[in-house]
């Protein structure tokens, strides 16, 4: 009925018109189904709630105006009350038929009570003994529903039997109203239906009621609502397509996947307080078998390396690993670093663990849990293993947090220790390996069965090679006292030759007593330096003697090296020293340009001898001895040199008596050669 002014009803009047309890009307108001207002009142704490008549369903509004103005409806056809859809007409007619059959039985009680008759009728109706066609359309009903139908039929006739639900067809709704509802509802702020309905009314539209607005918004596809109300990531996780990988094409121990996960139960920390540890897991993709794990306080590169080492020693090496994009997995020590910019990488300096073991590293897509199959194992571990501990806090923290958790965490005696948890998790993993698995290409077999059936050639790993690959590699400067790492000084006797140069050092974080030193350019092993203990502030006599002895030995080696280089020139005259210097320059030029023809055979022979001596000195400990022998050969003080064609040349002598002795020996040799050949000199 039309009305120029808004009519407001209190909760009691609205309940009488609806034929419902006041609590039902109040709950519907809290759900936002009605438009309400607060008005001043003497009671009810100074205010009361009123409901707008226009926000009630049309059928309820007609009831109200029929009671208030009954003369307006006298002598008029009441078919307008059935202006709903055809389906509503059919439903009301079927309800009327059931009530007529029920009334026939109530008229013939035969000594039975009314309650007994109604309960028996409802039981026969639900058992399809009354009418199967009506049961198929209306569905099973309760005694309470039949009593409500009888009450509404008694008070309002067919009007009361009309269903209150609305039709789901909104084809005739104007496009501007649809656009408004979509723009209000499809928002990441996630407004309620009541908010959308209020804004809808404020824009001047009154075509739809609150129930109709809710029905219209519910018709929007769930994918659209998820995309625009929850965001792109939620849509991708719930409705986005993904590539299904064929696990049957992969062999066991071919690809490993690694990831971190925080356990949702507390253990006893190092300070005696509750600690929620982390776990690093390596799992075989094909068989879903756990290769190795490590429980630790917080994830880092060291925990990744430790878990990978235990897995490799037990099951061999994989061909590839699928890892996360975090800094710990993509660190230079473990995987060599992910190429994030176009930089030129020196492969000789790539000293990562995976590169040293010839294992290929593959990085999964960022922020995509489905790209790592180990995530499904973590959920199984939470449900089957973590919930069995008294210190379990719940997966969603506040939603599943046990009520007495705080008291448990404050009691150190109830906190399990790390060895206990490690042993329990190892036992649970063994049980997990032996039970059937429903994953793709598993065919209901256990991880152990699939591992044995699909395992190819096992890549064994040398423990020593694995130890070297796990070492940390850094570039350091050799300073006056040696190499400094973590505040400790490392020293070796052969270090004096490389002071002031940068070298590459390798060390094991679990054994910092020594380090291995390599050449920075050629990555060639040089020596092993031991950790030198630092002296006390008041140094004792033994420390002073040790430092003096090491200083004398180092100074002696430096001076010996200089003596070897300059020994051949000390006793020469200025002219002879100039000739020797020129010969040394020719030798050095020929070493730099091997294709340059030698002016003198002797120089070429000396250069070849010097080169061979340098190349043959593979042992660093004999290199100094080789240099000494080389320089003695170049000095010519006591030995004689020969050319490539067999001719002998006159050497250079430091003293004149050496020259006389040499000439005497040459004459004697020439006489002996003449006697043998028959020549006369």
Architecture of the domain whose range is 175-238 = Orthogonal Bundle (1.10)
* Per-block mean pLDDT, blocks of 10 residues, the chain (681 long): 67 83 84 84 75 81 76 52 66 89 87 89 91 89 91 77 67 84 93 93 86 89 93 87 82 90 88 88 92 87 83 89 81 66 42 77 74 85 90 74 84 88 92 90 90 87 73 80 81 81 78 81 80 61 66 70 55 56 62 53 38 39 41 41 47 56 75 52 36
Q: In sequence order, which residues have a C-beta less than 8 Å from that of residue 529 and are 6 or more positions away?
A: 482, 483, 490, 491, 492, 495, 505, 514, 515, 517
Whether 228 and 188 have beta carbons less than 8 Å apart is answered as yes
Reference 267, options 259, 275, 278; nearest CA is 275
Cα 170 from Cα 127, distance rounded (Å):
37
Give the model's pLDDT for residue 562.
Answer: 62
Give the model's pLDDT for residue 168.
Answer: 54
The 3 state secondary structure assigned to 396-445 is CCCCCCCCCHHHHHCCHHHCCCHHHHHHHHHHHHHHHHHCCCCCCCCCCC
- Residue 129 tokens read as 């003994």
Cα 373 from Cα 418, distance rounded (Å):
27
Give the model's pLDDT for residue 618.
Answer: 41
How many residues comprise the chain? 681
Q: Is 46 exposed, middle or buried (0-12, 13-18, 19+ CB in 10 A)?
A: exposed
Q: Which runs of consecutive H residues, i.e. helices, occur in 498-566? A: 541-566
Cα 414 from Cα 91, distance rounded (Å):
63
DSSP 8-state secondary structure symbol assigned to residue 341: S
DSSP 286-328: TT--EEEEEEESS--HHHHHHHHHHHHHHH-B-SEEEE-SSTT
Q: Is 68 exposed, middle or buried (0-12, 13-18, 19+ CB in 10 A)?
A: exposed
Q: In sequence order, which residues have a C-beta less than 8 Å from that of residue 18 and are 6 or more positions away?
A: 24, 25, 56, 60
- Please check whether the two domains, 1-76 and 175-238, share a CATH topology: yes
Cα 316 from Cα 291, distance rounded (Å):
9
Whether 14 and 28 have beta carbons less than 8 Å apart is answered as no
Beta strands in 454-550 (DSSP E): 472-477, 483-485, 488-491, 502-508, 511-519, 525-532
- Residue 469 tokens read as 């690959």
Give the model's pLDDT for residue 658.
Answer: 62
276-293: burial string, b at 16+ Cβ within 10 Å, e else: ebbbbbbbbbbbbbbbbb
Strand order in the sheet with 483-485: 472-477, 502-508, 511-519, 525-532, 488-491, 483-485
Cα 499 from Cα 558, distance rounded (Å):
12
Backbone angles phi, psi at 341, to 5 degrees: -145, 165
Between the CA of residue 45 and those of 10, 22, 37, 38, 49, what are the distances in Å? 16, 18, 15, 12, 12
Give the model's pLDDT for residue 546.
Answer: 67
Cα 631 from Cα 520, distance rounded (Å):
28
The ranges assigned to domains in the chain are 1-76, 175-238, 247-454, 463-560, 572-655, 656-681
Give the model's pLDDT for residue 14.
Answer: 86
Give the model's pLDDT for residue 607.
Answer: 37
410-435: burial string, b at 16+ Cβ within 10 Å, e else: eeeeebeebeebbeebeeebeebbee
- Residue 453 tokens read as 């059936």
- Residue 202 tokens read as 């404020």
- The verdict on domain 1-76 having CATH code 3.40.640.10 is no
Q: CA-based angle 609:610:613, to the nearest 5?
A: 85
Cα 421 from Cα 388, distance rounded (Å):
12
Looking at the DSSP bridge assignments, the partners of residue 474 are 505
User: What long-range pairs does 116-119 form, CB within 8 A, spacing at least 24?
Assistant: 118/143, 118/146, 118/147, 119/143
Residue found by looking up tokens 């064929």 in the block: 246
Whether 91 and 82 have beta carbons less than 8 Å apart is answered as no
CA 292 vs. chain centroid, Å, equals 17
DSSP reduced 3-state for 505: strand
- The verdict on domain 247-454 having CATH code 2.60.120.10 is no
């Amino acid at each position: 009925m039309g009305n120029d002014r808004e009519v407001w009803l209190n909760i009691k009047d609205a309940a009488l018109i609806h034929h419902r309890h006041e609590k039902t009307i109040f709950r519907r108001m809290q759900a936002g189904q009605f438009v309400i207002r607060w008005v001043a009142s003497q009671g009810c704490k100074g205010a009361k709630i009123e409901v707008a008549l226009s926000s009630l369903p049309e059928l309820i509004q007609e009831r109200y105006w029929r009671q208030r103005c009954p003369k307006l409806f006298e002598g008029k056809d009441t078919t307008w009350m059935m202006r709903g859809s055809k389906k509503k007409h059919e439903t009301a007619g079927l309800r009327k038929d059931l009530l007529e059959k029920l009334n026939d039985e109530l008229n013939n009680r035969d000594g039975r009570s009314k309650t007994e008759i109604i309960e028996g009728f409802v039981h026969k109706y639900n058992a399809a003994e009354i009418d199967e066609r009506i049961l198929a359309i209306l569905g099973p009903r309760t005694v309470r529903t039949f009593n409500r139908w009888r009450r509404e039929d008694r008070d309002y006739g067919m009007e009361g039997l009309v269903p209150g639900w609305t039709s789901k067809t909104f084809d005739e709704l104007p496009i501007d109203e649809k656009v408004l509802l979509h723009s209000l509802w499809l928002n990441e702020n996630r407004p309620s239906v009541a908010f959308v309905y209020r804004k809808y009314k404020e824009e001047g539209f009154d075509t739809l009621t609150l129930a109709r607005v809710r029905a219209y918004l519910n018709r929007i596809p769930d994918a659209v609502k998820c995309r625009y109300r929850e965001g792109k990531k939620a849509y991708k996780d719930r409705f986005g397509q993904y590539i299904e990988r064929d696990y049957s094409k992969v062999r066991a121990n071919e690809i490993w996947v690694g990831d971190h996960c925080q356990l949702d139960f507390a253990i006893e920390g190092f300070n005696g307080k509750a600690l929620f540890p982390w776990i690093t897991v390596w799992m075989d993709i094909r068989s879903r078998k756990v290769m190795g794990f490590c429980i630790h306080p917080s994830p880092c590169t060291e925990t990744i390396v430790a878990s990978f080492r235990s897995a490799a020693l037990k099951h061999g090496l994989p061909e590839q690993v699928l890892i996360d994009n975090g800094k710990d997995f993509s660190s230079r020590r473990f995987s060599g670093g992910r190429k994030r910019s176009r930089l030129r990488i020196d492969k000789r300096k790539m000293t990562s663990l995976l590169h040293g073991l010839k294992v290929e590293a593959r990085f999964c897509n960022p922020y995509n849990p489905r790209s790592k199959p180990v995530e499904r194992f973590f959920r199984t571990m939470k449900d089957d293993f973590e919930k069995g501990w008294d210190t379990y806090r719940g997966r969603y923290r506040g939603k599943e947090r046990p009520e007495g958790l705080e008291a448990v965490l404050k009691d150190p005696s109830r906190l399990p220790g790390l060895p206990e948890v490690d042993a329990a998790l190892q036992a649970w993993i063994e049980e997990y390996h032996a039970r059937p698995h429903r994953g793709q290409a598993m065919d209901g077999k256990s991880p152990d069965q699939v591992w044995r059936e699909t395992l190819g050639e096992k890549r064994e790993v040398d423990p020593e090679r694995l130890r070297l690959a796990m070492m940390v590699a850094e570039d350091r400067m050799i300073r006056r006292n040696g190499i400094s790492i973590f505040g400790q000084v490392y020293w070796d006797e052969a270090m004096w030759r490389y002071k002031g140069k940068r070298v590459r050092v390798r060390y094991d974080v679990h054994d910092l007593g020594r380090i291995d030193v390599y050449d920075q350019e050629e990555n060639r092993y040089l020596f092993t330096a031991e950790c030198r203990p630092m002296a006390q502030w008041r140094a004792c006599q033994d420390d002073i003697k040790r430092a003096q002895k090491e200083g004398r030995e180092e100074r002696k080696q430096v001076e010996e090296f200089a003596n070897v280089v300059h020994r051949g020139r000390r006793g020469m005259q200025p002219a002879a020293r100039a000739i020797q210097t020129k010969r040394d320059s020719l030798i050095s030029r020929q070493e730099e340009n091997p294709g340059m023809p030698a002016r003198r055979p002797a120089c070429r022979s000396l250069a070849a001898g010097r080169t061979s001596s340098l190349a043959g000195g593979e042992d660093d400990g004999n290199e100094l001895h080789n240099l000494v022998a080389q320089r003695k050969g170049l000095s010519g003080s006591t030995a004689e040199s020969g050319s490539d064609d067999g001719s002998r040349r006159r050497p250079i002598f430091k003293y004149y008596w050496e020259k006389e002795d040499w000439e005497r020996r040459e004459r004697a040799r020439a006489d002996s050669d003449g006697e043998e050949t028959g020549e006369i000199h």
